[in-house]
Structure 1
Amino acid sequence: MAPRRILPTDLPPGSPLARRLAALGSSGRVTVEHDGSPVAAVEGEPLAVSLLAAGQLTLARSVKYHRPRGAMCLRGDCDGCLVRVDGVPNVMSCQTPARAGMVAQSQNAFPTAGIDVLRVTDWFFPRHLDHHHLLVQFGGALNRTMQVFARRMAGLGTLPDAIASFPRSESLDVDALVVGAGSSGVACANALARGGARVLLVDEREGPGGMRRDDPMDDRAYPGCDPAVTVRYGAGAVATYDDETLVIHEGRGVTVRARARVFATGARESVGVFSQSDVPGVFTARAFALALCHGVLAGERVALVGDGLFARSIAATLGDRVTHSPGAAVVEALGGRAVKGAKLREGGREWTVKCDALVVDGELGAAYELAGQAGASVLWSDGRQCFVPESDAEGATSREGVYVAGSLRWGRIDHDARARDGAAVGARALRDLRGEGR
């Protein structure tokens, strides 16, 4: 069955998700357009979630062979949800709030991403195409013909309908910039502000909470920021140079100069490596949980793999609606245009489950890029199987004035532990700003 919206009455009375969805009941209903068809949406929810609720699993096509792709992460970390929105190409629909009258179109596909005749390569070459060997073997004429064809098939999107205009950039000078408004980022910003520092806290999402915003078993109020903290939500830090960081907020470029920069950018979820991991219907556990928090069930027959925070929350929320294999590994996702099953392995045993959503709580990769740009040394962690910024016990890195906090440095730790770590890192940064050192 296709994904669908769920109501509080579909859940056990008094459950955290039921309370969340009851609060969403007052949100405005709007209509957006996708490939010429009207789609019902909730104002402000991610456009990708609106399309998912309408049964649109396939939102994009791969660049080269036009294979179907879907919204796998809902975090802006993959390209499975790229669409053209209001004439602007390559918009991440998972990061774009739905609003009335919005027009979304498939790109890199004909006629739509759902039915793309440009996928003919796979039909004509079922054992895959070695185009380099083919072009050399048959010479110049075929080479020239294929180049014309390839130019039409490849690429992502076409030029915008209109030349965009952007507001004038601005510059800000602060004592400390904190990137990330999850548990650790908010605690860090509060510690700095309460010590008298001028603090700017930015986050690309529309409010605080970080991972807690996507946990269907967590409906507690998020910790608030001290009134002395300047906060900008919907503001993504995209690059950092020397002591300056570029933040994009409401289409405006903001150059932030700070004596201390704290990166509480968290971690990225992954489904891991297995055959057909990119088929529509494969989700990270956090993506599936995020959709649930917006009242969208991304599958009726759910195969859930892993034992992390989000896997446990999904299992507790949906109960016997999911087949949970906490200790298994995925060998292969089954299906062509969408997931129809999965082959799993645990110990020496392999088995197959039928499903229309394969949800994997895989390894966390540290979102270290900004800290690395800022000058922090980055090392490979065998334990976490990813690159991690090198830091001391209080979050200070090899670059003076650059700090890391929360799950960026520790990986899987709970909300309270992240908050404690953020407060400790903020206290260290404050001492350094005052010239007190350790």
Structure 2
Amino acid sequence: MLLIAPPGKGVKMVGDTRIWNHPTIKFERKKKVRFTFDGKEIVGYEGETVAAALYASGRRVFSRSIRYHRPRGYYCGVGRCASCMMRVDGVPNTRICTLPIREGMVVESQNRFPSLDLDLLRIVDYLFPHGIDYHKMFIRPRFLRETYNRFIRRFAGIGKPPEPVKSFEPPEQGRRSAQLTVVGGGPAGLCAAVEAANSGVDVLLVDENPKLGGRLRREPQRIFQTNEKEEKTGSELLKELLNQVEKAGGKEEGKGKILVMLNTTATGIYQNHGNKTLVLTTPENLVQVETKTIVVATGSHDQPELFENNDLPGVMTSTAAQMLMNVYGVKPGERAVVLGINKDSLELGKQLLDAGVEIACFVDQSQKRVSETEKKVFDEKNIPFYSSHKIKKVLGHNQVKKAVLAHLNEDGSESGEEEKIACDLVCLALGRRPSCELTLQTGCKHRMVPELGGFTPLRDKKFRTTVKGVYVAGGTAGIMDTAGAMLSGRVAGLSAATDLGIGGEKPLAKCEQFLKQFQDYYDNLDEETKVGIAKTTVEEVC
């Protein structure tokens, strides 16, 4: 293999897939960090996650499935699936896609025999291609049932219990109180926190990631349109919002404070005598927060897609690919098939090209047509668009090698025409659905809205839900566009301040101003999105 020396960095590691010369993003790689994976030393850089460092070293298989021991790889990139769970320093089932590397860390794969790449137990997948019916298969003869159970328990499941600890002191449960808790540190959550704090509300801002920013952090080079009709890159917009968070409240009289908790997951919301009890999980302990109001701005999830072998390493969401190449500077693959023809998938395509990834084609089941302006950058590289096609299956043993495309008739049935495309990466960019797990826990009314991707909380024009004191903003409210998400966050934060009776008439007047801007934003949306937003907006909520 050719050894390439990045400027001033010395000789590049054999098999290293890091991006050293990116046209728009500068990756800061300072201190090297060494850890072991299954006994082998891996070298990463401070700030990388375990998954990013392993992926950069050439590893594609991260785990094996529970029953059939099928290979699993880097899929979501943000800790929302179980594909990357490993044993870390003796702790089983740790999601390594969000875990930063540490010097001397011991990482081990799970649920494989004898190794992760060559798992002999995968023979189960080949012997039972249509699945195992435990209810019928392992009940006779009766005297062998205990033997069956011992066998199944030995080879199924994920991981082994941690080593027994002689003395263990459970961490003390933390307690906090807040006037407003904002869950989610993306554009909507940041705007909600800033407006509420500037109105005099003490805000607790919670995010599950190590840094604030959401999609702005994973798409730093993308051009976003702000509510002032200005265009800014993701990094510029993030810098501006973080500046606002830092300045919000301050020492001025009548201003609130913003307390930020990172690496913290909101795992439950409970009603408590008019207040809300929010349970937070931190790396150290559980924190119980008594809060009067909550803005849920947890964003959205990538839409999955069904096709044969869609669990093979190399199939990943657009978010996962963006985290690798834009945040950690690691190439997600060499040749990609992008599933989806839409604004976000085209932007993803440009980011893949910037990262040095060849794009084999774009695929979409609909008959979508792309404008000449949007296609220009791809036409120059002769990248085809396959509308009225679907991915029927992907081929490969431990990693994607080819994607099989099937042509579709007007009624959606397969015409019989197929084409095999060589690739090692399939990016799912079919749109997003609201992340409404927390709002479902509160008892808010939801509605299935296909135009917005799935179940979406009902809310009024000021983003109040059907449960008093609970507000939604951004992707959680079905507003996927960054400009709209920011406006919805500002309105939600000001609505919370007004309902708390803090700030007098000022937050109310400011809220009306942002509502007018949101109406202008809504008037310029496409008809499908307008219909979806209209379905979730009600006159009275509580």
Question: Is the contact between residue 74 and residue 313 of structure 2 (CA under 8 Å) also seen in structure 1?
Answer: yes
Question: 2:12 matched to 1:20?
Answer: no
Aligned equivalents of 1:148, 1:68: Cα separation in 2: 24
Give the TM-score, by structure 1 length.
0.91
Q: State the 1:125 CA deviation.
A: 4.0
- Name the structure 2 match of 1:103: 106
Q: Equivalent residue for 2:358? A: 321
- Give the 4+ runs in structure 1 shifted more than 6 A: 435-438
Tell me, yes or no, if the aligned pair for 2:221 and 2:235 is still in contact at 8 Å. Answer: no
The C-alpha deviation readout for 1:148-207, integer Å capped at 9, x for no partner, is 210101122111124464432221111100000100000000110000011100101112
**Aligned twin of 1:5:** 17
Q: 1:168 to 1:181 in 2, by over 3 A?
A: same
Q: Which residue of structure 2 lines up, in the alignment, with residue 214 of structure 1? A: 218
Q: 1:52 aligns with which of 38, 48, 55?
A: 55
2: CA distance, partners of 1:216 / 1:4: 23
Residue type of the alignment partner of 2:157:
G
Separation in 1 of the partners of 2:451 and 2:351?
A: 30
Aligned counterpart, 2:397: 336
Unaligned runs of 5+ in 1: none
Q: 1:365: which partner in 2? A: 433
Q: 1:343 and 1:95, CA in 2 relative to 1: closer, same or farther beyond 3 A?
A: same
Cα gap change, 1:256 to 1:129, in 2 (>3 Å): closer
Structural mapping, 1:56-67, within 5 Å: 56-67=59-70
Report the Cα distance in structure 2 between the residues aligned to 1:310 and 1:103, rounded to whole angstroms.
38
In the aligned structure 1, how far is the partner of 2:75 from the partner of 2:20?
A: 25
Residue matched to 2:323:
290
- Higher mean C-alpha displacement, 378-387 vs 206-215: 378-387
* Per-residue deviation, residues 281-322 of structure 1 (Å, max 9, x unmatched): 101011011100211112112112223565333321343711
- Does structure 1 residue 134 correspond to structure 2 residue 137? yes
Matched, 1:418 2:485: yes
Partner SS for 1:238: strand
Q: Which residue of 1 aligns with 2:345?
A: 311
- Is the CA contact (8 Å cut-off) linking 1:284 and 1:362 kept in structure 2? no
Mapping 1:38-437, distance limit 5 Å: 38-125=41-128, 128-136=131-139, 138-163=140-165, 165-215=169-219, 217-218=221-222, 220-221=235-236, 222=238, 223-224=241-242, 225=245, 226=248, 227=250, 228-242=257-271, 243-293=276-326, 294-308=328-342, 310-319=344-353, 321-325=358-362, 327-328=364-365, 329-345=390-406, 347-348=408-409, 350-413=418-481, 415-434=482-501
Give the Cα separation in 1 of the matches to 2:128 and 2:221: 47
- Quote the residue 2:9 is aligned against: none
Q: Please list the CA deviations of residues 206-244 of structure 1 after superposition, one character each: whole Å capped at 9, or x if unmatched.
A: 121101111252452411112521111111111111111
Decide whether aligned partners of structure 1 residues 377 and 20 sit closer, same or farther in structure 2, where only a CA change above 3 A counts.
farther
Q: Contact conserved, 1:217 with 1:313, CA < 8 A, in 2?
A: no
**One-letter amino acid matched to 1:312:** L
* Letter matched to residue 91 of structure 2: V
Aligned residue identity for 2:146: R
Deviation at 1:350, TM superposition (A): 4.0
Following superposition, the deviation at residue 417 of structure 1 comes to 2.1
Q: Against the structure 1 CA distance between its residues 334 and 187, is the aligned structure 2 distance closer, same or farther, given a 3 Å change threshold?
A: same
Structure 2 residues not aligned, in runs of 5+: 2-13, 223-233, 251-256, 366-389, 410-416, 513-542
Higher relative contact order (CA 8 A, sep 6+): 1
**1:95 Cα deviation from its structure 2 partner:** 1.6
Distance 2:421 2:206 in 1: 42
Cα displacement string for residues 337-377 of structure 1 (whole angstroms, at most 9, x for unaligned residues): 21111123454464221111111112322211111112211
- Once residues 131 and 181 of structure 1 are traced to their aligned partners in structure 2, the CA distance between those partners, rounded to angstroms, is 44
How far the C-alpha of 1:130 sits from its partner, in A, is 4.1
Preserved contact between residue 342 and residue 353 of structure 1 (Cα < 8 Å): yes
Q: Tell me the secondary structure at the aligned position of residue 149 of structure 2.
A: helix
1:94 aligned counterpart, secondary structure: coil
Q: Please list the CA deviations of residues 7-46 of structure 1 after superposition, one character each: whole Å capped at 9, or x if unmatched.
A: 342x4xxx32xx332xx13x32101111111111122222
Q: Is the 8 A contact 1:5 1:297 kept in 2?
A: yes
Is the 8 Å Cα contact of residues 317 and 428 (structure 2) preserved in structure 1? yes
Cα–Cα, structure 1 residues 174 and 327, in superposed 2: closer, same or farther, change >3 Å?
A: same
| Structure 2 counterpart SS, 1:5 | coil
Distance 2:81 2:313 in 1: 12
Bigger CA drift: 250-259 or 312-321? 312-321
> Relative to structure 2, which stretch is displaced further, 252-261 or 313-322?
313-322
| Structure 1 vs Structure 2 CA RMSD | 2.3
AA paired with 2:491? A
Which whole-Å CA distance do the structure 2 matches of 1:85 and 1:5 have between them?
A: 23
Residues of 2 paired with 1:433 and 1:333: CA distance?
A: 54
* Cα separation, 2, equivalents of 1:270 and 1:92: 21
**Does the 8 A contact of 2:474 with 2:480 survive in 1?**
no
Counterpart residue number, 2:413: none
Q: 1:356 to 1:103 in 2, by over 3 A?
A: same
Report the Cα offset of residue 134 of structure 1: 2.9
TM-score after normalising by structure 2:
0.74
Query: 1 CA distance for matches of 2:265 and 2:307?
Result: 31
